[in-house]
Structure 1
Amino acid sequence: MAVDMRAAASDRARKEKQKARRDMRMSYLLLAPYLLLLLMFGLFPIAYAFGLSFFDTIEMVFWGVTNYQFVFDDFRVPASVVNVLAFVAIWVTITMIGVAALSLMLDSINRKTANTLRTIYFLPGAVTSSAIVVLWLFVLDPSVSPFQPVLHSLGWGTRADVISGIGLAGVFAVMAYFSASGGWIVVFGGALSSLPTEVMEAARIDGANRFQLATRIKLPMIWRSLVLMGILSFAGGLQLFVEPQLMGLAGPQFAQNDWSLNQMAFQYAFRMGDFGASAALSTLLVGSSIVIALVIVFATKFYKID
């Protein structure tokens, strides 16, 4: 009897190990396409740009850190850094507050209505950034804007008045918010729908109203989604390019060819033909994003299991 029990236990353990190995192989199989794309379009370009940043790409000779010195000595780079940081500060702030508030409000209303509104919010994100910029050039023009009364009440009679009043960083942040927030609202809808219903019911029994339920129960339970959104928004903000690049469509006085760091990298590569300096600046951008993301991840203990 004891021998049979040991044999059965051994057979069960063997089957569990086989199942675990099958599950592991299936996991790697499902990850393989992503890892391949990450290698091709992520890691390899970064490694190539890093290596290229140490060469004079015109004469193809090794330059050491000369390209990095050139970037740091360019008087336009500090101004671009200030511009991008101002944009990122405004954009990340309004995105985190706006997306969290809208997501929590949508989660507290009828599910069918909430899903319809999420779809409506998502639609601007399906439009390319270049089209969003062109659309906003009309919205910011008091003569044709649907917000004409509001703009006139602020004393803004021309597009130049609006842009100077809000500031380019604010204008670009608003453009980016309306193009990207819809996708995050959908993501947060999924995060909120996965919260345990028994916790919500217990809070309601304890007398929590909708506001308390949203701010004291739901919000602390989705803080990782907020941190993730902040990290990705920050990294995306550092890559700002399309919005300032297309501002010239509003008139030559609005043309901004070196407003952002990505524009500077573009200028180095395709206006000056200096791909080494462009690679150096791009490498600095990627490195800054990675370092800041790691600091936030470890500071918030993002991957710690509660």
Structure 2
Amino acid sequence: MLLLAFGIFPALYAVFLSFTRNGAFVGFENFQRVLSDYRFWPAVQHVSLYIVVWLVVLTLFAVLLALLVHGLHARWASTGVRFFYYIPGALAGASSVMLWLFLLDPTVSPVSGVLHALGIETFVKAVSLDNLPVVFTLIAFWAGAGGWIIILYGALNNVPQEVMEAARIDGAGPVKTAWHIQIPLMRKWISYMMVMSLAAGTQLFVEPRVLSQASKGVVPPDYSLNQLAYLYAFKQNDFSGSAAISILLLVVAAGLSALFVFRGGLFERD
């Protein structure tokens, strides 16, 4: 019932809105109007760039950190590090962004020396459009990577010990073992991580909205597609246009997710 009430029914209603206007069927008119909006394609570019940076950074570092934690032989060290990774995930999205507002402001940041070394002298420069994909990736990694590291750590625990022992007997070092044995056996979990992270990345909203308010408009209010859909619905009172953006976003995200699912063999039997 909950799935019908809060998942399927709203999705079907959004489809209905995207093909109608004031209750009348208008075909693809709403989609054409949205696609011709001067704000749409810059928002697509912003979200696409962020997703590419986010998925690459998440995949590389989450897999690497999971392998490093799994390689710790002391049980207390492994448990402590996993708990440390998971702590940032306890912060809500808006709270995490507020924390990063202080970290990105060179005048109050505890890492101001690093910011100055990177040539960032002011908060406005830190949240310039060129830096935002990296900024949003840092925020997302801080808040969500810990959970994925723990999941990948669990996947590594399922690698048969006989296989690992055979690799050691054959003289394979940690790097070769990880590249030829552990990572291939983690393929399904990595694909699952990428599908879920892709879905979350396309919903970019809280981070640019909070930064837009904090930077007094340096970050535009229509930076992401979700923000643009919000403006259509609640600023322009155009729920049909907002639904059209949502459906376009859903179709693209579903297509990319299907690619990850089939390429990653997520539903293949071992």
Shorter chain as denominator, the TM-score bin is over 0.9
Instruction: Please report how far the alpha carbon of residue 227 of structure 1 lies from its aligned counterpart in structure 2 after TM superposition.
Output: 1.2
Q: Does 1:250 align with 2:214?
A: yes
CA distance in 2, matches of 1:164, 1:276: 32
Q: Percent identity?
A: 39
TM-score by length of 2: 0.94
SS at the partner of 2:128? helix
- Deviation sequence 1:103-156 (CA, Å, 0-9, x none): 000000023211211111111111111011111111011122121111122222
CA distance in 1, matches of 2:96, 2:228: 22
CA distance in 2, matches of 1:256, 1:115: 42
Q: Does 1:272 align with 2:219?
A: no
TM-score by length of 1: 0.83
Residues 1-306 of structure 1 mapped to structure 2, 5 A cutoff: 36-56=1-21, 59-109=22-72, 110-164=74-128, 167-306=131-270
- Deviation sequence 1:84-121 (CA, Å, 0-9, x none): 00000110110000100000000000232112111111
- Deviation sequence 1:225-277 (CA, Å, 0-9, x none): 11111121112111100000111343314242100000011011111111111
Runs of at least 5 residues in structure 2 that lack an aligned partner in the other structure: none
Letter in 2 for 1:147: V
Whether contact under 8 Å (2:188, 2:265) holds in the other structure is: no
Letter in 2 for 1:50: V
- Deviates most, 219-228 or 207-216: 207-216
CA distance in 2, matches of 1:99, 1:74: 37
CA distance in 2, matches of 1:162, 1:271: 28
Letter in 2 for 1:48: Y
Question: Which structure carries more helix by proportion?
Answer: 1
Instruction: Please report how far the alpha carbon of residue 165 of structure 1 lies from its aligned counterpart in structure 2 after TM superposition.
Output: 8.6
Q: Which has the larger Rg?
A: 1
Aligned residues: 269
Instruction: Please report how far the alpha carbon of residue 213 of structure 1 lies from its aligned counterpart in structure 2 after TM superposition.
Output: 2.4
CA distance in 2, matches of 1:46, 1:108: 44
CA distance in 1, matches of 2:145, 2:155: 15
Instruction: Please report how far the alpha carbon of residue 166 of structure 1 lies from its aligned counterpart in structure 2 after TM superposition.
Output: 5.8
CA distance in 2, matches of 1:115, 1:230: 25
Whether contact under 8 Å (1:246, 1:255) holds in the other structure is: no
SS at the partner of 1:156? coil
Instruction: Please report how far the alpha carbon of residue 298 of structure 1 lies from its aligned counterpart in structure 2 after TM superposition.
Output: 2.5
Letter in 1 for 2:8: L
Whether contact under 8 Å (2:128, 2:219) holds in the other structure is: no
Runs of at least 5 residues in structure 1 that lack an aligned partner in the other structure: 1-35
CA distance 1:298–1:211, change in 2 (3 Å): closer
CA distance 1:270–1:165, change in 2 (3 Å): closer
